[in-house]
Amino acid sequence: MRTIKLGTSTLEVPVLAVGCMRINSLSKTEAERFVQTSLEAGANFFDHADIYGGGKCEEIFADAIHMNDEIREKIFLQSKCGIRQGQFDFSKEHILESVDKILQRLRTDYLDILLLHRPDALVEPDEVAEAFDKLESSGKVRHFGVSNQNPLQIQLLRKSVKQPIIANQLQLSITNANMISNGVNVNMVNDSSIHRDGSILDFCRLNDITIQPWSPFQYGFFEGVFLDNDKFPELNAQIDEIAAKYDVSNTTIAIAWLLRHPANMQPVTGTTNVERLLDCIKASEIRLTREEWYAIYRAAGNILP
């Protein structure tokens, strides 16, 4: 699979991350097949979070991959912390405790990347910095990033944190593309011009922070998949036409649309179906034309002023 450099780091990683949020829906045998298929296809970057399946997803993954030192060196492991029942928590104590538990569940000594999952209203950047320093010096975490953060929240962290923020995981799909459409509709009197993210797309490009789009097939907030969905007839017709041209599935084209953006994003897939995963991976070989990219953008209802 095609690779990209993650943020300002020297990490050369697959252009797709395999999301593990839903792997607790799989049996042991299915999980083993899923992980094995990923590895054979070169998809060796796995995205976790301490809350997925209440911790079960990390354990299921470690079992499925038969974690040992040899396997560990062949994969990239990313996990997240900071979400707790009824609150978000970026306190030093919580970050350190969470990472210890993540490492235990994944049966490893280190994470390649730790992301702070959702902005904590009570964040104290100095505390985050102390936690990151400790995690880095102990070798438990090699690189750091964030998720769902806007430019000023990242800048605030950077005032104290000395490690580079190399990734920002954000919700982005063809049907949830406000971060793109607000840049196309600057200063217009329409809903697309509304900045919900403080120009995070341009900020990440300017600062070499890799955007990791999450839920690349969902519309709304986990409302469902837009592909083959009657709610999106124009979009599906457009995607199907382009899929036929390339002789690939609509799944492949939906990922190829994200990969065509010049920000060098690393989408995080969520499927637990091996055929669909392979279809996602196929997208790394396709480069949509400018005309195709805009046709899909418009067919989803995204407007040009």
Point out which residues bind ligand NAP (CB under 6 A). Answer: 19-22, 47, 147-148, 169, 214-218, 225, 227, 251, 268-273, 276
CA-based angle 122:139:64, to the nearest 5? Answer: 90
DSSP classification of residue 189: S
Nearest of 125, 123, 54, 47 to residue 85 by alpha carbon: 54
Q: Is 184 or 274 the residue whose CB approaches ligand NAP more closely?
A: 274
Our CB check for ligand NAP shows the closer of 126 and 285 to be 285
Choice between 20 and 283, CB closer to ligand NAP: 20
Query: How far apart, in whole angstroms, are the C-alpha atoms of residue 237 and residue 260?
Result: 19
CB of 4 to ligand NAP, least distance (A): 17
Question: What's the rounded Cα separation, in Å, for the pair 273 and 296?
Answer: 25
**Nearest CB to ligand NAP, comparing residues 95 and 225:** 225
* Residue with Cβ nearer ligand NAP (185 or 227): 227
Which residues have C-beta within 8 Å of that of residue 245, sequence separation ≥ 6? none
Please, are residues 178 and 291 in contact by the beta-carbon 8 Å criterion? no
Compute φ and ψ for 288, nearest 5 degrees: -65, 150
Point out the residue whose Cβ comes nearest to ligand NAP.
270
Which contacts qualify for 227-230: CB closer than 8 Å, 24 or more apart?
A: 227/251, 227/254
Q: At what angle do helices 28-40 and 56-64 cross, to 10 degrees?
A: 70
Q: How far is the CB of 19 from ligand NAP (least distance, A)?
A: 2
CB 66, CB 96: distance < 8 Å: no
The pair of structure tokens assigned to 272 is 């637990």
DSSP E strand boundaries for 172-266: 210-214, 218-219, 224-225
Q: Decide whether 185 or 251 has the Cβ nearer to ligand NAP.
A: 251
